[in-house]
Structure 1
Amino acid sequence: MSRYHATHAYSIESPAEFWQEQAQRIPWKRFPETILSWDEQRHARWFEDGTLNICYAALDHHVEKGRGEQVALYYDSPVTGAREVLTYRALRDRVAYVAGGLEKLGVGKGDRVVIYMPMVPEAVIAMLACARIGAVHSVVFGGFAARELALRIEDAEPKVVISASCGIEVNTVLPYKPIVDQAIAQSVFKPEALVVFQREAERAPLNEGEHDWQTLEQSGVFAECVEVEATHPLYILYTSGTTGKPKGVVRDTGGYAVALAYSMEAVYGLAPGDVCFTASDVGWVVGHSYIVYGPLLRGCASVVYEGKPVKTPDAGSFWRIIDEYRVKSFFTAPTAFRAIKKEDPEALERRRYSLASLEHVFVAGERLDPPTFHWLSDVLNVPIIDHWWQTETGWPIAANLAGIELAPAKAGSATYPVPGFNVEIIGREGEKSAAMEEGSVLIKQPLPPGCLSGIWRDPARFHSAYMAAFPGYYLTGDGGYFDDDGYLFIMGRTDDVINVAGHRLSTGEMEGVLGAHPAVAECAVIGIHDDLKGQRPVGFVIPKDGFDGDEAALEAALIQQVRETIGPVAAFKQVLIVNRLPKTRSGKILRKLLRTLADGKPYTVPSTIDDPTSLDDAQVAMSRHGVGRVDEARPAEQ
């Protein structure tokens, strides 16, 4: 038995013993005696009688062990030209004073703080300051519009919102303050205070009840770490749900700290002092886990990067970062590499830099297509590790484990389940699938530490969305299979959540926005293949009877409505006006059949369809607009 297989078997057969050993990686205030327990719904709970503070484990502990002058954060912003280096001591001090400022505003243990900021060190400081005083942070990605921010404010009910005066994208200044103002105005719940970090590119006027970040930090007292229970919520992170309403994934403190500390060594092969570069955003789970908490818990230096993979200022931006900061582990989404490949297919920019420090490249968030995998392998000559995880799990479910034992890579596979994750494939009949048989990807209970502990203030939704369909299992919502060698292949979502450039978005929510337009009678949104982003949304709209307006104007209005309501992150740019949509006799729109048509795959006309000729309308519309590969699609019987 290989080292990996022995480790994985131990973690599954003796989970309490395995995780008790891993728990020793972090400094507890009170080491837990109860490692694994179960709540009333038979959901796993970890380390329930342990206490700690994750900010102490990530910062103060390293300072006390003599590593205070070691670099904790490198900030690099090609869009502004700004750079900054923060040691563990300097970061600890800034976090402590901001935490003290939040305490002056009345923030304490259990209070929520919504953070809506660009990729600047202050975003990381805000997160850690909340954790230091036991407050629960909820970071919202800056690409979301005011309505989406308002929904999260209403659900989380924060005492304070922290934002910045603006974000900067390439050469564009994006004012944040007006978005925050609109969101608070739209929200039924009103925060007590707003803190704004002023940036030189655009300063925001402040009103009563609004506070300047710099003043808050300078006037605060040095806050000590607040001891919290291992099961105490660390953060709420909202992810798209199939109903369109965002789900507030709750992450506990102790289990998350243990899981991340373990993963930094076992999955990523990193040691204290190593430099890791995760090109993501703190608004996503990747940023939470592997820009902020994971690297700092492990004693690494983390790169906070404000920019894009290309045109900031060139396609060599990532290679420059790796060279300049001697990065050992680099992690981003496949979309970023496809953009670089498109801009610089011969990788000429890569030759300008030394990548001698680089040992592994990790990709996640969406499918790594084989052409991009092979291009990366040729260009970088280091292991390219495609790994799979979710907002809900908080850390990788499956990976090629750099810190335990690297297996030969297979394009399109996430390799093996990570220790702690008991992954099974269940087919349509509810039976465990054999090798090469596709089915629903499930994780058998207990979920390991670090996974979601619930949905914020909605335990019923937590159980119904993830646990009810297969008792004793967590439903990932993805389909996949194991091959004959035990490699796991993830084939995509089984619900209406699509993956756009690594961002999970609900097509149901987009349909709600389209359907609200007064000229729209019916609509459907599907995700289709996109060479750069992996998937992109396309809307199908039936106008109301009597509509005689300009179709192009309606399409433009609907696209703008989605952008204003959900935000640029939706990448919604195409609407097709049709007379009919394929439906069942009961009136259900056959979205799966629309996706099959767009993908150019053979299809069978279902016996339940109300009007088979409605397929012709959809095909003509898609063909006319160049959507997908519809011209290749043919009925299976032909």
Structure 2
Amino acid sequence: MVHCRRLRTRPPREGAGRVSGEAVAAHRRSLADREAFWLEAATAVEWRTPPTRALDDSAAPFYRWFPDATLNTCFNAVDRHVRDGHGDRVAIAYESPVTSASAEVTYAELLDLVATCAGALEALGVGHGDTVLIYMPMVPEAVVSMLACARIGAVHSVVFGGFAANELAARIDDARPAVVLSASCGIEPTRVVDYKPMLDQAVEQSASPPRHCVVLQRDASRASLVDDRDLDWDDFMALGTDRPAACAELASSDPLYILYTSGTTARPKGVVRDNGGHAVAMTWSMRHVFDIGPGDTMWAASDIGWVVGHSYIIYGPLLTGATTVLYEGKPVGTPDAAQLWRVAAARGVKALFTAPTALRAVRKEDPHGQLVGDHDLSALETLFLAGERLDPATFLWAGEALGVPVVDNWWQTETGWPIAANLRGLEPSEIKPGSPSRPVPGYDVRILDPDGHEVAPGVEGAICIRLPLPPGCLQTVWGDDERYLSSYLTDFPGHYLTGDGGYVDEDGYLFVMGRTDDVINVAGHRLSTGALEACLSRHPMVAESAVVGVADDLKGQVPRGFVIVKAGAEVDDDVLRAELVDLVRDEVGAVASLRDVTVVHALPKTRSGKILRKVLRDMSDGKAVETPPTIEDVAVLDKLRDRLGRP
């Protein structure tokens, strides 16, 4: 039996789902009169020098937002809330089931820590324009480090804690940090990951090693320090105790951070975010997309190594004056599949934001949602999902189990905030399963054919965004403007190439079908692997699925499926395969030619939860596969190799 609360969806306004209403009007105005729209949005940010212009397009396609303005992001995220009498409000609610720790950091306490850390960075010679690399687990010190960099105008680059030494070295060489802020280890449900040996190896490999490495010592594994280079975190903070740093006045266009896109190989690609446009976009999206205001609690169950962590664990909530939940753990296994609900109940979370992968992991362990009923989720109003395609089965399961709107939203590391979403704080509208709703104000989304022509509603094509991108999106690739142009702006002149394919329906709703390289061609028929995955996931025994295209001498490509069955399900693999093949034939058609389905215990994924489809594709084609640097669990890959008999 499913334990759930009564559905508390707000009824759609008249015309919801049609091309009318407040949200659509806002979108039209954001494109027709960018200056007025974004200058109005900018009033929610406190500027040193307020902007008189919204957009500088004189160097297009290198657009600059609020070009004549100055501000400080840290001041807006921390200082002004304390100044305005909200110092006692909780800024960070820290939950660490892997260490049995739980703590709260108020805005006043956060201000003291950040100013001290910033002063310590200055004592080490870090200043405006220098870079600082942060290689830390999900601990409050990581948040302090990011804000301290923003305070003095240093550019931070967070690398996911536990990244392999060679990948860390590549990022050090690209960002050339003056200082690395790290920790002795990260703690996972079943193991301790020692960061310091990987950091030492990366520094040794680097052609541009940092002057100093600061190490937060953790009880689970304490690290040895290198003389004349390394500092203990407490000793480092002591450097700033008597000289806390003030907020530097920064140009709107000054870079705030570099974030390397997940899955990069060879030379890393660092997305550059500015200060002014980012602050405006984050503030606008918190209010209008997520319906979060001062004093509300938001939990983005992600990691600060990813863009969701930057935008909606750190900057978005703190710029708004809200409380953010910082969680060190997994959705399952710490110790069970109820952690999302336990923490959300304990912290009074209003908006929970996670990835479909996390929910599929929970659903696999608790297929009937029974654990939801053990927790008081009366404060929870919306579940937001992003990071990958939201399959209908997960959408329906979550909505039934939680009894709140399940809102898909679609965006990328490069954009920094949602491209398409249901605007819960402006005009909640009809939710269509499989769609992240309409484009968000500021994004001029176009569906283009291979020749660059816009297609009709319902016709699939390349999802592109007509330039200029709105505030908050990437400004360039760190140190490589040409790479920015060739990667994103060359294929369709005048447009940003998202790399995803999809269509817009007659109501203006966007449907994202997956990366354009996940469209397979079966005997001349183009099929979306996302659509095939959605079909497989509708089987009552399937918890998660992945479909890839493999080479075929006759048809060019044919789909191959991989499925995970729900926990406790008793089913014969051969019977399940036959049922899945029949299901695809009935719902998609014989043209899909799906004949091969492999039942596995786990799928290889990145640390951000994305399925490594290229690995599955290469393995299925009989190719030797090297272990990707972004993989979450190498053991899953090894078991898959054994299962498929691949090198």
TM-score over 0.5 for the alignment?
yes
1:215 aligns with 2:235: yes
Q: 2:627 matched to which residue of 1?
A: 562
What's the TM-score, normalizing by structure 2?
0.80
Structure 1 residue 43: Cα displacement: 2.8
Q: Deviations over 1:221-265 (max 9, x none)?
A: 211111110000000000147774321000000000000000000
**Alpha-carbon separation, structure 2, partners of 1:180 and 1:423:** 41
Does the residue aligned with 2:637 lie in a helix, a strand or coil?
Answer: coil
Q: 1:596 matched to which residue of 2?
A: none
Q: Deviations over 1:140-188 (max 9, x none)?
A: 0124211111110000000001100000000311100001011111111
Structure 1 residue 405: Cα displacement: 0.9
| Paired amino acid for 1:185 | E
Q: Contact between 1:145 and 1:179, CA under 8 Å: does it hold in 2?
A: yes
**Alpha-carbon separation, structure 1, partners of 2:301 and 2:58:** 37
Does the residue aligned with 1:17 lie in a helix, a strand or coil?
Answer: helix
Give the share of equivalent positions with the same residue, in percent: 52
Q: Select the residue among 514, 517, 535 that pairs with 2:611.
A: 535
Q: Contact between 2:174 and 2:268, CA under 8 Å: does it hold in 1?
A: no
Taking structure 1 as reference, are residues 403 and 576 closer, same or farther at Cα in structure 2, changes over 3 Å only?
closer
1:85 aligns with 2:104: yes
Q: Contact between 1:240 and 1:246, CA under 8 Å: does it hold in 2?
A: no
Q: Contact between 1:435 and 1:483, CA under 8 Å: does it hold in 2?
A: yes
Q: Contact between 1:482 and 1:489, CA under 8 Å: does it hold in 2?
A: yes
Q: Contact between 2:34 and 2:54, CA under 8 Å: does it hold in 1?
A: no
1:125 aligns with 2:147: no
Taking structure 1 as reference, are residues 34 and 571 closer, same or farther at Cα in structure 2, changes over 3 Å only?
farther
Does the residue aligned with 1:417 lie in a helix, a strand or coil?
Answer: coil
**Alpha-carbon separation, structure 2, partners of 1:271 and 1:105:** 37
Q: Contact between 1:76 and 1:83, CA under 8 Å: does it hold in 2?
A: yes
**Alpha-carbon separation, structure 2, partners of 1:439 and 1:349:** 41
Q: 1:351 matched to which residue of 2?
A: 373
Taking structure 1 as reference, are residues 365 and 530 closer, same or farther at Cα in structure 2, changes over 3 Å only?
farther
Taking structure 1 as reference, are residues 67 and 426 closer, same or farther at Cα in structure 2, changes over 3 Å only?
same
| Paired amino acid for 2:333 | K
Q: Contact between 2:62 and 2:476, CA under 8 Å: does it hold in 1?
A: no
Q: 1:226 matched to which residue of 2?
A: 248
1:267 aligns with 2:289: yes
Does the residue aligned with 2:267 lie in a helix, a strand or coil?
Answer: coil
Q: Select the residue among 118, 139, 147 that pairs with 2:158.
A: 139
Q: Select the residue among 284, 303, 312 that pairs with 2:306.
A: 284
Taking structure 1 as reference, are residues 570 and 131 closer, same or farther at Cα in structure 2, changes over 3 Å only?
farther
Structure 1 residue 460: Cα displacement: 0.4
Structure 1 residue 468: Cα displacement: 1.4
| Paired amino acid for 1:173 | V
| Paired amino acid for 2:437 | T
Q: Select the residue among 239, 246, 249 that pairs with 2:271.
A: 249
Q: Contact between 1:540 and 1:576, CA under 8 Å: does it hold in 2?
A: no
Q: Contact between 1:439 and 1:480, CA under 8 Å: does it hold in 2?
A: yes
Q: Contact between 1:442 and 1:475, CA under 8 Å: does it hold in 2?
A: yes
**Alpha-carbon separation, structure 2, partners of 1:263 and 1:566:** 29
**Alpha-carbon separation, structure 2, partners of 1:435 and 1:164:** 51
Q: Select the residue among 19, 22, 31 that pairs with 2:50.
A: 31
Does the residue aligned with 2:616 lie in a helix, a strand or coil?
Answer: strand
Taking structure 1 as reference, are residues 82 and 45 closer, same or farther at Cα in structure 2, changes over 3 Å only?
same
Q: Deviations over 1:63-108 (max 9, x none)?
A: 0111011000000000000111000000011011011111111000
Q: Structure 2: 5+ residue runs without aligned partners?
A: 1-19, 520-528, 531-547, 549-558, 565-602, 604-608
Q: Contact between 1:445 and 1:474, CA under 8 Å: does it hold in 2?
A: yes
Taking structure 1 as reference, are residues 534 and 98 closer, same or farther at Cα in structure 2, changes over 3 Å only?
closer
Matches within 5 A, 1:316-395: 316-395=338-417
**Alpha-carbon separation, structure 1, partners of 2:349 and 2:640:** 45
Q: Structure 1: 5+ residue runs without aligned partners?
A: 500-506, 508-525, 544-550, 578-620, 628-638
Taking structure 1 as reference, are residues 351 and 240 closer, same or farther at Cα in structure 2, changes over 3 Å only?
closer
Q: Contact between 1:256 and 1:449, CA under 8 Å: does it hold in 2?
A: yes
Task: Kindly report the root-mean-square deviation, in angstroms, between the aligned alpha carbons of the 2 structures.
Answer: 2.7
Structure 1 residue 539: Cα displacement: 6.4
Does the residue aligned with 1:320 lie in a helix, a strand or coil?
Answer: helix
Q: Select the residue among 196, 200, 223 that pairs with 1:181.
A: 200
| Paired amino acid for 1:394 | G
Q: Contact between 2:39 and 2:53, CA under 8 Å: does it hold in 1?
A: no
1:95 aligns with 2:114: yes
Does the residue aligned with 1:538 lie in a helix, a strand or coil?
Answer: helix
Q: Contact between 2:297 and 2:351, CA under 8 Å: does it hold in 1?
A: yes
Q: 1:615 matched to which residue of 2?
A: none
Taking structure 1 as reference, are residues 496 and 135 closer, same or farther at Cα in structure 2, changes over 3 Å only?
farther
**Alpha-carbon separation, structure 2, partners of 1:386 and 1:70:** 30
**Alpha-carbon separation, structure 2, partners of 1:218 and 1:184:** 25
Matches within 5 A, 1:236-635: 236-240=258-262, 244-495=266-517, 535-536=611-612, 537-538=615-616, 540=618, 562=627, 568=632, 573=637, 625=644
Q: Select the residue among 155, 168, 180 that pairs with 1:161.
A: 180
Does the residue aligned with 1:455 lie in a helix, a strand or coil?
Answer: coil
Taking structure 1 as reference, are residues 242 and 279 closer, same or farther at Cα in structure 2, changes over 3 Å only?
closer
**Alpha-carbon separation, structure 1, partners of 2:116 and 2:640:** 53
1:194 aligns with 2:213: yes
Q: Contact between 1:140 and 1:149, CA under 8 Å: does it hold in 2?
A: yes
Does the residue aligned with 2:511 lie in a helix, a strand or coil?
Answer: strand
| Paired amino acid for 2:304 | V
Moved over 6 A (4+): 496-499, 569-572
**Alpha-carbon separation, structure 2, partners of 1:223 and 1:412:** 48
**Alpha-carbon separation, structure 2, partners of 1:111 and 1:242:** 24
**Alpha-carbon separation, structure 1, partners of 2:184 and 2:560:** 34
Taking structure 1 as reference, are residues 244 and 386 closer, same or farther at Cα in structure 2, changes over 3 Å only?
farther
Q: 1:7 matched to which residue of 2?
A: 26
Q: Contact between 1:527 and 1:538, CA under 8 Å: does it hold in 2?
A: no
Taking structure 1 as reference, are residues 319 and 198 closer, same or farther at Cα in structure 2, changes over 3 Å only?
same
| Paired amino acid for 1:70 | R
Taking structure 1 as reference, are residues 330 and 384 closer, same or farther at Cα in structure 2, changes over 3 Å only?
same
| Paired amino acid for 1:77 | S
**Alpha-carbon separation, structure 1, partners of 2:359 and 2:32:** 38
Q: 1:74 matched to which residue of 2?
A: 93
Q: 1:150 matched to which residue of 2?
A: 169
Taking structure 1 as reference, are residues 303 and 243 closer, same or farther at Cα in structure 2, changes over 3 Å only?
closer
| Paired amino acid for 1:366 | E
Count of equivalent residues? 545
| Paired amino acid for 2:611 | Q
**Alpha-carbon separation, structure 2, partners of 1:66 and 1:542:** 60
Q: Contact between 1:144 and 1:568, CA under 8 Å: does it hold in 2?
A: no
**Alpha-carbon separation, structure 2, partners of 1:36 and 1:201:** 50
Q: 1:519 matched to which residue of 2?
A: none
**Alpha-carbon separation, structure 2, partners of 1:232 and 1:41:** 17
Q: Deviations over 1:453-477 (max 9, x none)?
A: 0000100010111111111111111
Q: Contact between 2:48 and 2:71, CA under 8 Å: does it hold in 1?
A: yes
Structure 1 residue 483: Cα displacement: 1.2
Taking structure 1 as reference, are residues 320 and 314 closer, same or farther at Cα in structure 2, changes over 3 Å only?
same
**Alpha-carbon separation, structure 1, partners of 2:634 and 2:285:** 31
Structure 1 residue 430: Cα displacement: 2.0
